[in-house]
Structure 1
Amino acid sequence: MKNNYASISLLFTVLLMVNKSYGQDDFPVLEGPYLGQKPPGLTPELFAPGTIATRDWEGGAAFSNDMKEFYFTRQHPETKSVETVVFKSKDDRWYMSDVFPGYGPSFAPDGKVMHFGKRYKERTDSGWSEMKNLGSPFEEIRIMSLKVSNKGTYVFDEVGTNGDGIIRYSRLVDGIREEPQPFGKEINTGLWNAHPYIAPDESYIMWDGEREGGYGGSDLYVSFKEADGSWGEAINLGGEINTEVDDGGPRITPDGKYLFFSRVVAPADGDRWPDVDTYWVDAQVVESLRPRN
């Protein structure tokens, strides 16, 4: 997707200022897993309509590894600044617990690191560390989204211009971080390739981009790893997932059950960013595309 997913509504800011200790008399009751939402089937559905999916621009939905924290980013409708909203589950009920500036994180599989592109925080006994930098050579790359596999492999994009985004990887070999390498043409073909997701076991990669044969805007694609370690040809996730507008930002929940992604539902209007909503769908839509030997 051409734009980074982010925004925050004034309602959330006001709620936080009024009572940061979980006071939300006027806020919907969210109880149970997945912010109390009924899980979808094989057809994508809006996630938490009216609470997360609003008339503003939101995206980057991510659960923590224990599924007890939920992060997403929004654009403030008045200041136009980008902020991340955090919900936490306590006694099986979800509360908005924090708002901080900037884009939301992705989590390392062990839950001990939050990645913010080329920056990160480490979990400490008292919470999270101060922001740190990955350093060279990552510092020289305009990273928008970075994910990590169980083996410590980084998969990340580079914010491009005129559609020339590149997706790269960096493996951890014998404790040493490799120099970043671009994926081959199976993945880096077409325009606007961005927002990669790598399966924890490295069996597949998902991302969004534009290429011939797509549905119109940016589409979600998946490439499965072959037996010889190479990457298979890109597979479009199909017309149930992709539309004539931009669809992007794929992430699988830490429990492996659901695919989250974002979709443009209304164009930009003046200085207002497009209305982008968060959708979710059973992760079987990805597994059903896995080649059977």
Structure 2
Amino acid sequence: MKLVYHSIPLVLLAVAFSNAVYSKNKLPSIEGPYFGQTPPGMTPEVFAPDIVSKEHRDWTGWFTPDMKEYYFTRNNRKARTSTKMMLKLVDGQWHEQVLDSGIGGSISPDGKTMHSGNTYRVRTDKGWSEPKSLGAAFKDIPIMVLSVSSNGTYIFDEREVTGTIRYSRLINGKRETPKAFGKQINSGKWTAHPFVAPDESYIIWDSEREGGYGKTDLYISFQIKDGVWSEAINLGDKINTPGPDTGAVVSPDGKYLFFNRKFSEDDSDIMWIDAKVIEQLRPKM
């Protein structure tokens, strides 16, 4: 695996992604957790403006469990480019890396596996391995996003018009055949981009369905008992807007909910909000 690594601090980088030209930037030194950003409250805010969220269609990223790496995608519709990015904490200073195409995706709770579509990579002493197949049971499913729990359960969608969210558990060390969730989750015109909590207590995904606030809203379902899921709960009008709100991810420390908000055809930003919003919606047992 080849990485294009730039040892210059992020403060000095202004990236022209189409030709990898770098020049100085006036940003202050980028240090500390979450790129030195002031944490949000119960109202969503743009995450790391001019560092992560720029004038592109930036897509929700994933932190590694040690919070020292952040993987995300930067799409430039005008230039017709899609660039895999990583921000890496080195000696207390964040640095920016442009990754080879294909690297990037969801990170497992233990930080040892990266999932992208129908493939996965494992962490090695030299970085990430070459992609490996998920196996025959998954080869004909056009997976977009796969999220994995601490127990190894896969929750994933498919690249279709309406989409279907499925799961596959590890039972006695063997991977079961993928199964579709019920109508609590698989309802509406569009169902995609699932995130499962490490303890499998909830799933967040986006869907276009009746009663929503916009084109695509974020929903959550809580696991009431083993294999039984609550009805979908809309995350509310503070998170969901008339436009598409998609791609939810909760930080490894469980403190913040990240998601993607589209402002125009050429611009979407990564948003974040205090993860207490999840607990406020959790059914009282």
Fold agreement, TM-score > 0.5: yes
Give the letter for the 2:276 counterpart: Q
C-alpha deviations, 1:108-129, integer Å up to 9, x for none? 1111111112111111122211
- Secondary structure in 2 aligned to 1:137? helix
Letter in 1 for 2:234: N
> In the superposition, relative to structure 1, how do residues 120 and 12 fare at CA in structure 2: closer, same or farther (>3 Å)?
farther
Question: Take 2:101 and 2:125, find their aligned partners in 1: how far apart are those partners?
Answer: 23
Aligned length: 272
User: Residue by residue, what CA displacement relative to the aligned partner does 1:116-174 show, whole Å, maximum 9, x if unpaired?
Assistant: 1211111112221111111212110000000000110000001112xx21000000000
State how 1:93-108 maps to structure 2 within 5 Å: 93-102=93-102, 104-108=104-108
Q: Which amino acid aligns with 1:191?
A: K
Identity %: 50
TM-score by length of 2: 0.90
Q: Which amino acid letter does the alignment assign opposite residue 70 of structure 1?
A: Y
- Aligned partner of 2:71 in structure 1 is 71
**Structure 2 gaps, min length 5:** 1-13
1:152 pairs with 2:152: yes
Q: Is the 8 A contact 2:18 2:81 kept in 1?
A: no
SS in 2 for 1:288: helix
Distance 1:93 1:45, change over 3 A: same
Question: Which residue identity lines up with residue 233 of structure 1 in the other structure?
Answer: E
TM-score if structure 1 supplies the norm length?
Answer: 0.88
What is the distance in 1 between the residues matched to 2:73 and 2:118? 17
- Is it true that 1:286 corresponds to 2:278 in the alignment? yes
Q: Which moved more, 1:243-252 or 1:133-142?
A: 133-142
Moved over 6 A (4+): none
1:47 alignment counterpart: 47
- The CA deviation at 1:279 is 0.2
Moved more, 85-94 or 175-184: 85-94
CA distance in 1: counterparts of 2:212 and 2:26, whole angstroms: 40
Q: Which residue of 2 aligns with 1:21?
A: none
Amino acid at match of 1:98: V
Residue 13 in 1 paired to residue 17 in 2? yes
The answer to whether the Cα contact below 8 Å between 2:15 and 2:21 also exists between their aligned partners in 1 is: no
Query: Residue deviations 1:74-109, cap 9 Å, x none?
Result: 124564122211110112221103332247311111
Give the match's secondary structure for 2:73: strand
Aligned-residue CA RMSD in angstroms?
1.9
CA gap 1:77/1:64 in 2 versus in 1, 3 angstroms:
same
Preserved CA contact (<8 Å) 1:16 1:99: no
The Cα shift of 1:253 comes to: 0.4
| Partner residue, 1:175 | 173
Q: CA deviation at 1:35?
A: 1.1
Whether the aligned pair in 1 keeps the contact of 2:146 and 2:156 (CA below 8 Å) is: yes
Q: In the alignment, is the contact (CA less than 8 A) between 2:17 and 2:83 conserved in 1?
A: no
* Structure 1 spans left out of the alignment, 5+ residues: 1-9, 19-23, 269-273
